With several copies, the nearest count.
Chain A
Amino acid sequence: MKVRTVGYYFQEALTSLRRNGLMALASVGTVAVALLILGGALLTVLNANNIMKSVENELLISVYLQEGVDETAIGDLEQQINDTPGVAKSRFISKEESLEKLRQQFGETKGSLEFSRNPLPDSFEVNAEKSNLVKGIADKIRGLSGVEKVNYPAEVVQKLSTLVEWVRLIGAVIIILLALAAVFLISTTIRLTVFARRREIGIMKFLGATNWFIRWPFVLEGVFLGLAGALVSGLILYFVNFYIVEAVKQFPFMRVQTDMKDVYIILGSLLGGGIFIGAIGSVISVRKFLQV
């Protein structure tokens, strides 16, 4: 392949893009829209996943201790709790602290919550690593000596853990479907572009052009289309994601810790995907008309 011929390929691809202006625009638009939707879904799932994680972290197991457990026993218990598999962290709350909380809850009028002696127990707040581990942990801790009662938002926890699984599953399915849809849309567009030029391809063959001689300009055209579409969608997604994440960050129960690395990976894949689909789409679409 001579350098001059490579030059020819590029020139051909660019000329064709210019000549088929409308169709090129349509293709870029389709690629952009397809990748936009796909990328949007990916980012949404990424962010939703992060939100889910932060919600999971809020789920607390309350461990109430028996009356009269002494300090060393409490220390032991803390050790045991932290050693329980699946526990992320734990915090000791003394009975005094609990009473203070209760007081705050029911207004500040003195007297309404004055007891002869503090009737509340000491307790631990335990965080689980994952929501579906909560029940197991609670059961284990219940068996420890010195523990009076273990409370956790039982139904909510179970349901939430199922929900999280579901969201992840549905998210994955939706993303796979959207990826397929994107590939389909892009390859359809390229196929139609090639279809409109099937006669030309035949003529080239009859003039002694090799298959790759015919393919290269189409492949480059596909790559340009894919690249342009991916860039457009990438830029839009980048800024939309940025603004949405900023907006959502205001909500305390949505402490989104979106790692920008993940975002870059997604945008990079879109770019690579666009180029790849453009090139492959061209090769496949041209193939049918090369059989002469």
Chain B
Amino acid sequence: MIQMYNVSMIYPNGVKALTDVSLHVRKGDFIFLVGPSGAGKSTLTKLIFREELPTRGQIMVNGINIARMKDKEVPYLRRKIGVIFQDFRLLPNKSVYDNVAFALEVAEASSKEIKKLVPAVLKLVGLTNKADMLPTELSGGEQQRVSIARAIINNPIMIIADEPTGNLDPETSWEIMNLLVEINKLGTTIIMATHAKDIVDGLKKRVIAIENGRVVRDEQKGAYGYES
């Protein structure tokens, strides 16, 4: 599903966010990206859906070389990837319902489909009674859940989640994680950057640890810290 070969990312201001990263992600993988603050986790995820282009190296997503991709093709790649952003990125002028519906709108889904799917997904994340509110009228955790709903509604082939439980209480976090595990079981690849030790240790999935822009550990059934 994803192949990275010697990828380096240097931001315009000179910060070396990633250095020489090589990775293989198979279809159906469930991966935790862990590492200290500023290690480069978000940068790695941004490369996959082409928010940023790598300074060096090759990235293949779903068989397509991302660097060589035409600008016109980028939207179609992005529609196949559901992204839960660290900073939510909700549209401020749209209600919760419209924010979630937007992912379908973008893919020109039928109005019937939208009317069926959106309430169902809102129910999954527990926001049915907040459907008509604006993002600014939500608590932090509620905003995060809207962003989760939007990421999964499109039935994507891959979900990228950047600290999707950072603003959630343990109980809600586990509900969301169980949801992601279910989705993963249906074949969707999941890449999740997180600091939640409990969750990583509890689920025993593949763990990729990044420090200072380098992959320092890549374990199947791994834990948050080094097994000690």
Pick from A2, A15, A206, A209 the residue with the most CB of B within 10 Å. Answer: A206
Do residues B83 and A206 form an inter-chain contact, with CB atoms below 8 A? yes
Chain B positions within 8 Å of A4 at CB level: 108, 110-111
Docked Cα-Cα span, A16 to B49, in Å, equals 28
Q: Is B145 an interface residue (CB 8 A)?
A: no
Docked Cα-Cα span, A213 to B75, in Å, equals 10
B162 nearest CB across to chain A (Å)? 12
Q: Is A208 an interface residue (CB 8 A)?
A: yes
Q: Is A19 an interface residue (CB 8 A)?
A: yes
Q: Is A257 an interface residue (CB 8 A)?
A: no
Chain B positions within 8 Å of A260 at CB level: none
Number of A-B contacts (CB under 8 A): 53
Interface string of A248-292 (1 = CB under 8 A from B): 000000000000000000000000000000000000000000001
Do residues A206 and B51 form an inter-chain contact, with CB atoms below 8 A? yes
Q: Point out the residue from A1, A2, A15, A206 that lies within 8 Å of B49, measured CB to CB.
A: A206
Q: Is A203 an interface residue (CB 8 A)?
A: yes
From 71 to 99 in chain B, residues with beta carbon under 8 angstroms from any chain A beta carbon are: 72, 75-81, 83, 85, 89-93
Do residues B89 and A206 form an inter-chain contact, with CB atoms below 8 A? yes
Do residues B102 and A207 form an inter-chain contact, with CB atoms below 8 A? yes
Q: Given the known A-B contacts A200-B93, A206-B51, are A2 and B76 also in contact in the complex, defined by CB atoms under 8 Å?
A: no
Q: Is A204 an interface residue (CB 8 A)?
A: yes
Interface string of A177-200 (1 = CB under 8 A from B): 000000000000000000000011
Q: Is B107 an interface residue (CB 8 A)?
A: yes
Do residues A209 and B75 form an inter-chain contact, with CB atoms below 8 A? yes
Do residues B78 and A208 form an inter-chain contact, with CB atoms below 8 A? yes
A8 nearest CB across to chain B (Å)? 6
Q: Is B105 an interface residue (CB 8 A)?
A: yes
Do residues B106 and A292 form an inter-chain contact, with CB atoms below 8 A? no
Q: Given the known A-B contacts A203-B89, A204-B106, are A292 and B51 also in contact in the complex, defined by CB atoms under 8 Å?
A: yes
Q: Given the known A-B contacts A4-B110, A5-B108, are A208 and B89 also in contact in the complex, defined by CB atoms under 8 Å?
A: no
Q: Is A66 an interface residue (CB 8 A)?
A: no
Chain B positions within 8 Å of A204 at CB level: 91, 102, 106
Do residues B111 and A207 form an inter-chain contact, with CB atoms below 8 A? no
Chain A positions within 8 Å of B78 at CB level: 205-208
Do residues A208 and B76 form an inter-chain contact, with CB atoms below 8 A? yes
Q: Is A210 an interface residue (CB 8 A)?
A: yes
Q: Given the known A-B contacts A206-B51, A209-B75, are A200 and B106 also in contact in the complex, defined by CB atoms under 8 Å?
A: no
Residues of A within 8 A of B (CB): 1-2, 4-5, 8, 15-16, 19, 199-200, 203-210, 213, 292
16 pairs across A/B with beta carbons < 8 Å?
A2-B108, A4-B108, A16-B93, A199-B92, A204-B102, A204-B106, A206-B89, A207-B78, A207-B79, A207-B83, A207-B102, A207-B103, A208-B75, A208-B76, A208-B77, A208-B81
What 4 A-B pairs are tightest by C-beta distance, nearest first?
Answer: A208-B78, A208-B79, A209-B106, A210-B75
